[in-house]
Structure 1
Amino acid sequence: THNLDKRLERHNSGWGKYSSAGIPWELVYYEKFLSKSEALKRENEIKRKKSKKYIENLINHAGGRPDYN
């Protein structure tokens, strides 16, 4: 997405079937890419890991939530 604030606002408004179940959502990590294809490739890479520990490490090493351990 080009606008993270707007996207987070939509998730927290109960707009989507899947996102409404997790309200309130909090952004703890993001990466910037020059192209959509690069971003989707990285998203798929992260999703393929299917590891809570991997996600926690990603967030913590990027300066995300210090309480996310």
Structure 2
Amino acid sequence: MRLERHNSGNSRSTKHGIPWEIVYFEVYPMKSEAMKREYEIKRRKSRKYIEELIGN
């Protein structure tokens, strides 16, 4: 699971935030759709947008 990999400290880009926890998720039938949505969220680079997602 990705969360376990992030919390293991093996990734330099996520090491600083340990321990990570899931606060929001969406479910998609295909991995490619989920990856596309993740890219859309990350592309916005908007803290306000992400906070709105988490708040709903």
Alignment of 1:45-60 (within 5 A): 45-60=40-55
**Relative contact order, higher structure (CA 8 A, sep 6+):** 2
Using the alignment, how far apart are the partners of 2:21 and 2:28 within structure 1?
21
Structure 1 residues not aligned, in runs of 5+: 1-5, 62-69
Larger radius of gyration: 1
1:11 aligns with 2:6: yes
Residue 44 (structure 1) shift: 1.4
The percent of aligned pairs where both chains have the same amino acid is 62
Q: Which runs of 4+ in 1 moved over 2 A?
A: none
Which amino acid is the alignment partner of residue 29 of structure 1? Y
2:32 is aligned to 37
Count residues in correspondence: 56
TM-score, normalised to structure 1, is: 0.70
